[in-house]
Amino acid sequence: MSEDRKDDAADTRRAAELRGRLVDELVAAGHITSAEVETAFRTVPRHMFAPEASLEEAYAQDIVVVKRNEHGTPISTVSAPEIQAFMLEQAAIGSDMRVLEIGSGGFNAALISELVGPTGQVTTVDIDPDVTDRAARFLQAAGYSRVNVVLADAEAGVPEFAPYDRILVTVGAWDIPPAWREQLAPGGRIVVPLRIRGLTRSLALDRDGDHLVAQSAMICGFVKMQGDGAHHERLLLLRGEEIALRFDDGFPENPHLLDGVLRTERIEVWTGVTAGRGESFATLQLWLATTLAGFCLLAASGDEADGILVAPGNRWFNLAMVDGDSFAYLALRPVGPDGMSEFGVHAFGPHAKQIAETMADQIRTWDRDQRHGPGPQFAVWPIDTSDDLLNASPDGKPENVLITDKRHSRITISWPAAG
C-alpha cells in the first residue's frame, strides 16, 4: 500500500473518530434530541465541506469561515455544529419532505438530504457564485448530487421547486419576504434567524391564518443576509470609532444631542438582581428591547474604553438605551462567592440619573414577573395588519407587546401577563 493511501486511510479513521466525539457532545448538551438528526450528523462527513480547515477544526464546536469581504468580515461560513443541530431539530424535517435551504455551503444541505431520504427533495440557494460552485462540488464529491444547487437572490425564494414543506434559513434575516410565505406548503414551517432590534433568535414559524407564529425561539448569530433582503444598522459614534451605539431601527432624530456625552459624570445604579455564573439571561435582552424606548446596542473597542464605560474590574454588556441627551447601558459586578454577579446600569448625560433608574426598574420588573416564565411569543404579520389586532391578547389579559415594522411584515414580541 502506498504512503498516500495509508495517509488517506488514517485521515478517514481520524475523521470518523472526531465526528463521533462531536456528535456525542451535541447529544450530551441537548443540541441534538432526535435519533434522525443524530444519525444524519454521524453520517455526513463535515470535513469534506471544509477542506481549508484541519480535521480537528472541521469537527470543533465552532464555525469555519469560507469567505470574507474586503474588510475581513466573514460573509460565508460553515455554521457551528450546535446551531445547525438545534435548527434542524426546530425544523422537524421528515422523510419525503421538500426543503428549501436559504444560504448555502453544502454540509447543512447534506444533513437535510439524509433527513428527507431518497424520495424527498432538497434545494439550496445562495446569492454568491463562489459559494454555490463550492457547495455543488462538495455535495457531488460527498455523494449528495441529488441536491438542487441554485444561484439566486433568495428574496424571491426558488419558485422552480416550490412548494416547500420546510424553509430553513441559514443566514441572518431582518425580514420575512412574501415569497417565502407564498412558497410554503400547507402545514409547512419556516425556521429563520430573525433579527429584531439588533437581537437575533432562530424562530420556528408555523402558519396561523394570515400570519406566522413561532413554536420555539433560540438565541443564535449568523452572517447577515445579502442582496435585496439586506438591512444595515446605523451607528451613532460617541468617541471616534471606538465607542458607538448600534441601531437596528429607531435611530435618534437629534443624534447631535449626545455630542460630548462621555465627558459628563458616569452615574451608577445597582438593582439587587443577581445571576450565577453561566446562567442565561436571554429573556432580559428581549424584555429590555420590548419595554425601553430608544433601545440599542453598545459597541466599544480599544484601550480607551476601559475606565470610561466601566469601572476597573467590572464587566459591561451591550444592551443600551438613548433618551434625548443621555444614554445608559447594562452593567454587571461581582457580589460574593461562586461567581454571583449583580445587574446594574451605567449612564451618561444631563439626565443620566433618570435614564439609569428607568432601565433599572425594567430589570427589576423582568426579575419579578418574567424571569422564570415561559418567555415571549413571536409572530410575523402582514405589513397592513392594524395595531388593534397586533395588540390583542389571546386570553384577554394585558400584555407587554413590542411591534416592529419591517419592509414586508410586522413583527410582534408578546409577553404573558405578570404571574
Q: What whole-number distance in Å separates Cα of residue 19 and Cα of residue 40? A: 11
Q: Catalytic pick from 34, 54, 76, 79?
A: 79
Q: What is the SS3 assignment for 146-195?
A: CCEEEECCHHHCCHHHCCEEEEEECCEECCCCHHHHHCEEEEEEEEEEEE
Whether 115 and 181 have beta carbons less than 8 Å apart is answered as no
CA separation (Å) from 281 to 276, 313, 319, 363?
Answer: 10, 21, 12, 11
**349: closest CA among 363, 359, 341, 362?**
359
The residue whose grid cell reads 426558488 is 158
Q: Which of 22, 28, 37, 24 is nearest to 89 (CA)?
A: 37
Q: 3-state SS of 106-158?
A: CHHHHHHHHHHCCCCEEEEEECCHHHHHHHHHHHHHHCCCCCEEEECCHHHCC
CA angle 401, 407, 411 (to 5 degrees): 20
Query: What is d(CA 55, CA 287) in angstroms, rounded to the nearest whole number?
Result: 41
Grid cell of 87 as nine digits: 435548527
Say if residues 404 and 189 touch (Cβ distance below 8 Å). Answer: no
> Is 280 one of the annotated active-site residues of the chain?
no
What are residue 70's phi and psi, to 5 degrees? Answer: -65, -15
| CA 143 from centre of chain | 30
- Find, among 113, 116, 78, the residue nearest to 94 by Cα: 116
3-state DSSP call for residue 207? strand
- The DSSP annotation for 374-406 comes to ---EEEEEETT--HHHHT--TTS----EEEEE-
Angle at 182 between CA 132 and CA 227, to 5 degrees: 40
Q: Which residues contact 337 (CB under 8 A, 6 or more apart)?
A: none
Which residues are tagged catalytic?
Answer: 79
